[in-house]
Amino acid sequence: MTTTCCPAKPPAPPSFSSPSADRTAATGARRGLWQALRRLGELARQRRALAEMDAHRLSDIGLSAEEARREAARPFWDAPEHWRRRS
Q: pLDDT tens digit string along 12-51?
A: 666 666 666 677 777 888 899 999 899 999 999 999 999 9
pLDDT at 59 over 60: yes
Residue 14: per-residue pLDDT? 63
- The model's pLDDT over 62-71, given as tens digits with 9 standing for 90+, comes to 999 999 999 9
- The count of other CB atoms within 10 Å of the CB of residue 49 is 11
Question: DSSP letter at 8?
Answer: P
pTM of the model: 0.60
Instruction: Specify the pLDDT at position 82.
Output: 77
pLDDT at 79: 85
Q: What is the DSSP string of 12-62?
A: PPP-SS-HHHHHHHHHHHHHHHHHHHHHHHHHHHHHHHHHH--HHHHHHTT
DSSP state of 74: S
Closest residue by Cα to residue 51 from 68, 66, 63, 39: 68
Higher pLDDT, 7 or 22: 22
* Distance between CA atoms of residues 84 and 25, nearest Å: 21
Average pLDDT, the chain: 82
